[in-house]
């Protein structure tokens, strides 16, 4: 791979870079850029997030520490040497993007981003991509806010390291890479990204605006669905959902996936838009995890008004039992080993009939407590719920994530994994039908 004529400096991105330990940023950029060159599906996945289509015949070049021809003195003085350059050739045209990355707690600022945008403009590049541990709703939602004029001729994108790591995980988890050698390469890249030495942070706290959003909800202030605080809250929640799937997959040794509507699965931007709209109407964060062979989806709700976390699973009540009490006893027998602290059962009836809700510890002695005073209709759905009341700690960015990541496994271990869905009993042959017919009847039938 020969260096482009417009560069006077730059090295090909290496999958195993030989750099000093102090240059973690350069090492991380080199690994991921070499991965983009090596694994077709990875570059298709990441560049698709920027709206760039990558065909199987397209060629990608990746360079680190690039220096351009005719670079102005001001740029040299400011040491504006980008961490990388991507060049995607489709035969008819080239798409080129500068890469600037940070690891650990380092972030990119407005001044630095502006200089790189100007540098890209000077050299007629298409985009600037920043990669840091800062989180953004979408690659087009940059954590640094600039005027529209600044990105008029050059696009500005942002990938969080968590986003890149998640794309690698999803490709491997869903068998998204065909070539076995490329699977190995991607596995090694993911191993590096998950290492503490890489300087890449795991998702361990909500967005910077989280506390303000929680306090606004508590004071009944209006939230705007297109505001940064709402968009970033939804984006952080989406990242936490993915982390919960990975945590539960690791703990159960089974595939745990996020349950999404088809249009949200296909269109991440629509998912953010719809979730932001719903959040502003009712300030709760919701998701459902699908666990293979579990009795039901594991539903999770974070209620910002009440400052509560709820984990639950919903079962259809057994139809072969006539009363609510009998149906509740069927569920209680499954929860004999459950430590009752924080657990409740909700009984739901058709239409507008009363919903009843009682603590598990009380129902063990008195299952009739879930009977309704206003309706004779038996409960058709039984839901086991685990409540965590965080009170003032709810607004803590790290505390919220820590408590959530304790609550979900606890609920599943104590209750979810014990549940079995009701199935109708098989049809039976009555004794009268199974008795052998008399000799006369058999002869008649024989005619």
175 with 216, same domain: the answer is no
Residue 441 has pLDDT above 80, yes or no: no
185 with 226, same domain: the answer is no
274 with 179, same domain: the answer is no
d(CA 102, CA 108): 7
pLDDT band at 130 (very low <50, low <70, confident <90, very high): very high
Which pLDDT does position 255 carry in this prediction?
74
Question: What angle is formed at CA 103 by the lines to CA 97 and CA 106, rounded to 5 degrees?
Answer: 100
Domain assignment of residue 307, given as a range: 210-418
Residue 439 domain flag = no
Residue 135 domain flag = yes
Closest CA to 237 of 266, 270, 210: 210
Nearest-Å Rg of the Cα atoms of the chain is: 29
Q: How far is CA 148 from CA 51, 110, 135, 152, 441, in A?
A: 19, 13, 21, 6, 92
Residue 437 domain flag = no
Residue 101 and residue 131 in contact, taking contact as beta carbons nearer than 8 Å: yes
Residue 7 has pLDDT above 80, yes or no: yes
363 with 236, same domain: the answer is yes
18 with 149, same domain: the answer is yes
Residue 430 domain flag = no
Which pLDDT does position 135 carry in this prediction?
73
128 with 243, same domain: the answer is no
216 with 183, same domain: the answer is no
pTM of the model: 0.68
101 with 11, same domain: the answer is yes
Specify the number of domains making up the chain: 2
For 158-213, write each residue's pLDDT tens digit: 998 878 887 888 788 778 899 999 999 999 999 998 887 787 777 788 999 999 99
Mean pLDDT of the chain: 89
For 326-364, write each residue's pLDDT tens digit: 999 999 999 999 999 999 999 999 988 999 999 999 999
246 with 351, same domain: the answer is yes
275 with 188, same domain: the answer is no
The distance of Cα 418 from the centroid of its chain, to the nearest Å, equals 26
141 with 281, same domain: the answer is no
161 with 242, same domain: the answer is no
């Amino acid at each position: 791979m020969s260096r482009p004529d417009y560069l006077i400096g730059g090295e090909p991105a290496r999958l195993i870079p030989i750099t000093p330990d102090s240059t973690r940023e350069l090492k991380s950029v080199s690994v991921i850029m070499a991965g983009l060159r090596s694994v077709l599906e990875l570059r298709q996945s990441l560049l698709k997030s920027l709206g760039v289509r990558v065909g199987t015949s397209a060629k990608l070049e990746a360079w680190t520490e690039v220096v351009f021809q005719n670079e102005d003195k001001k740029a040299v003085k400011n040491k504006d040497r980008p961490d990388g350059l991507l060049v995607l050739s489709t035969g008819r045209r080239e798409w080129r993007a500068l890469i600037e990355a940070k690891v650990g707690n380092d972030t990119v600022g407005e001044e630095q981003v502006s200089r790189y945008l100007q540098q890209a403009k000077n050299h007629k590049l298409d985009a600037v991509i920043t990669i840091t541990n800062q989180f953004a709703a979408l690659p087009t939602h940059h954590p640094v806010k600039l005027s529209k004029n600044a990105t008029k001729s050059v696009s500005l994108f942002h990938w969080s390291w968590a986003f890149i790591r998640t794309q690698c995980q999803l490709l491997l988890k869903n068998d998204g890479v065909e070539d076995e050698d490329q699977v190995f390469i991607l596995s090694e890249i993911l191993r590096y990204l998950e290492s503490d030495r890489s300087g890449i942070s795991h998702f361990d706290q909500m967005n910077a605006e989280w506390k303000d959003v929680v306090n606004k909800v508590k004071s009944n202030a209006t939230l705007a669905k297109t505001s940064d605080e709402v968009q970033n809250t939804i984006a952080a929640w989406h990242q936490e959902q993915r982390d919960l799937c990975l945590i539960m997959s690791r703990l159960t040794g089974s595939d745990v996936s996020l349950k999404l509507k088809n249009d949200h699965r296909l269109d991440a931007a629509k998912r953010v838009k719809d979730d932001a709209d719903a959040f502003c109407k009712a300030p709760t964060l919701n998701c459902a995890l699908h666990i293979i062979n579990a009795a039901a989806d594991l539903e999770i709700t974070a209620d910002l008004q009440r400052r509560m976390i709820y984990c639950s699973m919903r079962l259809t009540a057994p139809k072969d039992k006539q009363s609510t009490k009998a149906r509740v006893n069927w569920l209680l027998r499954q929860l004999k080993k459950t430590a009752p602290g924080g657990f409740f059962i909700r009984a739901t009836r058709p239409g507008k009939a009363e919903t009843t809700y009682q603590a598990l510890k009380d129902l063990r002695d008195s299952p009739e407590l879930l009977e309704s005073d206003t309706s004779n209709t038996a409960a058709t759905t039984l839901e086991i719920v685990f409540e965590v009341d965080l009170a003032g700690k709810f607004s803590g960015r790290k505390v919220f994530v820590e408590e959530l990541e304790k609550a979900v496994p606890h609920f599943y271990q104590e209750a979810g994994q014990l549940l079995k869905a009701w199935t109708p009993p098989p049809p039976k042959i009555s004794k009268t039908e199974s008795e052998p017919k008399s000799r006369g009847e058999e002869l008649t039938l024989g005619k």
